[in-house]
Each structure stands twice: as C-alpha cells, then as structure tokens.
C-alpha cells in the first residue's frame, strides 16, 4: 500500500531568526559560537515512553481548574485557545502531545525565579496538556496571560503569550514555540519577537480572535494552528527545520 504524502515543500533555511541577536540580550551568551553538529538520535530517544490518552487527567487541558482539580477557579479573563497541528501539506497530525505554560492574569509565573510583584493566583498553576484528536485538533481553556516586564534593556515587556511544546512520534521529537494574541501592541516592540525578521512568520505566531468558538457570556476564543514544517511552518525556538 502506498500513501500519498503530497509534494515535498523545500524549507527556507534562511528564514529562521538568528540565534545571536544583540537586541535580545540573553541570546548573546546563550547562542552557539561554533557551527552546529548533526547528531544521530539514540535508541532511547526513538523508543522511549510517550504520553498517551491514558495518562491525561480530566482537568489537564483546563488551566482554570487544573491547579485545584476543579475546587476553585483561576482569576482572569477566560479564553479558549484552540487549533490544529498540521504537517507541511495541511494534513492533521493526530494523537500528538501538546503542552502549554504561561503567566497568570497578572503576568507572573508560578516559578521560584519569577520575582515580579504581580501576585500569584492561589488557584492557577500555569501549565496544561492535551493530545490532538483524529483531526489534529486541540483546545485549552485558560485565562489570558498578563504582559510582564523582563530584564533586557531599560523597559522591555513581553507581549501576552503562551508557550507551546509539541511532541512527535518519539520523545526526541519536541518542538517549542510561543503564541501571541491578535491586536496586542506589545508584539511589534518585543525584542524576542523582533528576532523574527519576516512579517508573515510573526503573523504565524499570532492567534486570531475567533468568535465562532467563543461561548456567549463565558469566554472568548483564539485560534492557533501549528504547522510542523514546510513553507508555512510555525517558527520554533529549538529547531531550525521542524520535524
Ligand atoms: Fe514567557
């Protein structure tokens, strides 16, 4: 049996933002100084355990309830974030683990190194996970994360954003990116976003307001499709080529 994989769309290797960008101060010390080496994957990376539906809890894709297991609700503007994981030919990628982490509504992470004086929400952890369905579809209910200041130049702020991780068919295939919100004026002045030089690629990281999925008197919705490779590939932080 043969499977129609569709045409192979060449990658544009010049399109990825440089790892070294003086506007993003941390990249100066974190970026590699030597050419990268391509390493063979190890057996444990290819055959190691993967997450499946059996380990997902009832509240795992609901960040409003998962920290308290439904006993209390997180504070903030309720939103649904949804979309599909797609391959380069817009085919769905089913059964893949999607994880998110984010600041709370005040712009603070539940992390010991986050010293921002916005208060922690006792009912909000900031992490969630789900597995795509047969159509590659995922969704999270959460609160809109606050913008937050960070140590870079004098007065830099991160736009509202949600961090995303997507796993492929093995543990060694992990892609990480950030999702922004349509209409946020901080996107265009963020030094991290500015490392992406191509406007259309930045737009690929911005979730559109999607009233078709909003629930009246409950939550707004934002749509964010993740494309794993090809010309329409979502920009990932940790891998030039995607999967
Ligand atoms: Fe962040």
Q: Is 95 a catalytic residue?
A: no
Q: Which of 16, 108, 144, 161 is catalytic?
A: 161
User: 15 burial class (0-12, 13-18, 19+ CB within 10 angstroms)?
Assistant: middle
Question: Which structural domains are found in the chain, ordered by start?
Answer: 49-227 (2.60.130.10)
Q: How far is CA 46 from CA 50, 188, 226, 238, in A?
A: 10, 39, 23, 18
Whole-number pLDDT of residue 1: 36
**Is 53 an annotated catalytic residue?**
no
Q: Pick 13 or 94 by higher pLDDT.
A: 94
Query: What are 67-99's pLDDT values in tens digits?
Result: 999 999 999 999 999 999 998 788 899 999 999
pLDDT tens per residue across span 97-121: 999 999 999 999 999 999 999 999 9
The confidence band for 169, taking pLDDT boundaries of 50, 70 and 90, is low
Surface-to-core class of residue 124, CB atoms within 10 Å of its CB (0-12 exposed, 13-18 middle, 19+ buried): buried
Q: Is the pLDDT of residue 140 over 70?
A: yes
Look at phi and psi of residue 107 and say left if phi exceeds 0, alpha if psi is from -120 to 50, else beta: left
Mean pLDDT confidence for 203-225? 98
Please, which contacts does 165-169 make with residues 24 or more away whose CB atoms are closer than 8 Å?
A: 165/97, 165/98, 165/99, 165/100, 166/85, 166/96, 166/97, 166/98, 166/99, 166/226, 166/228, 167/50, 167/51, 167/96, 167/97, 167/99, 168/96, 168/228, 168/243, 169/50
Active site residue 161: yes
Confidence of residue 30 (pLDDT cuts 50, 70, 90): very high
Q: Which of 148, 180, 222, 235 is catalytic?
A: 148
The pTM score is 0.89
Gap from CA of 179 to ligand 1 centroid (Å):
10
* 158 among known catalytic residues: yes
Q: Alpha helix locations (H) across the chain? A: 25-30, 43-47, 199-203
High-pLDDT (> 70) share of the chain, %: 88
Least confident of 75-84, 149-158, 222-231: 222-231
Pairing between β-strand 156-158 and β-strand 226-227 as defined by DSSP bridges: unpaired
pLDDT at res. 53: 64
Rounded mean pLDDT of the chain? 89
> Where do the H-state alpha helices sit in 67-226?
199-203
- C-alpha 213 to ligand 1 mean position (Å): 25
What length is written for the chain?
243
Is pLDDT larger for residue 7 or for residue 45? 45
pLDDT tens-digit series, residues 228-243: 866 667 777 776 654 4
| Closest by Cα among 93, 96, 97, 118 to 108 | 118
């Amino acid at each position: 049996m043969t499977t129609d994989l569709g045409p192979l769309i060449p990658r544009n290797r010049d399109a990825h933002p440089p790892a070294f960008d003086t506007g993003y101060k941390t990249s100066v010390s974190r970026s590699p100084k030597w050419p990268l080496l391509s390493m063979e994957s190890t057996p444990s990376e290819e055959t190691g355990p993967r997450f499946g539906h059996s380990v997902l809890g009832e509240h795992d894709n609901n960040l409003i309830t998962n920290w308290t297991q439904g006993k209390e609700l997180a504070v903030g503007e309720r939103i649904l974030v949804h979309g599909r994981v797609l391959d380069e030919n817009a085919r769905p990628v089913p059964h893949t683990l999607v994880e998110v982490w984010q600041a709370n509504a005040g712009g603070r992470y539940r992390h010991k190194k986050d010293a921002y004086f916005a208060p922690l929400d006792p009912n909000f952890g900031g992490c969630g996970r789900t597995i795509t369905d047969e159509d590659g579809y995922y969704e999270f209910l959460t609160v809109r994360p606050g913008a937050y200041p960070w140590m870079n130049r004098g007065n830099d702020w991160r736009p509202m954003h949600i961090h995303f991780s997507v796993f492929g068919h093995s543990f060694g295939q992990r892609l990480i990116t950030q999702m922004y919100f349509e209409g946020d004026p901080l996107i265009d002045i963020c030094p991290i976003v500015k490392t992406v030089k191509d406007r259309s690629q930045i737009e690929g990281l911005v979730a559109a307001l999607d009233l078709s999925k909003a629930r009246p008197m409950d939550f707004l919705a934002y749509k964010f499709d993740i494309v794993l490779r090809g010309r329409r590939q979502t920009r990932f932080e940790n891998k030039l080529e995607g999967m």
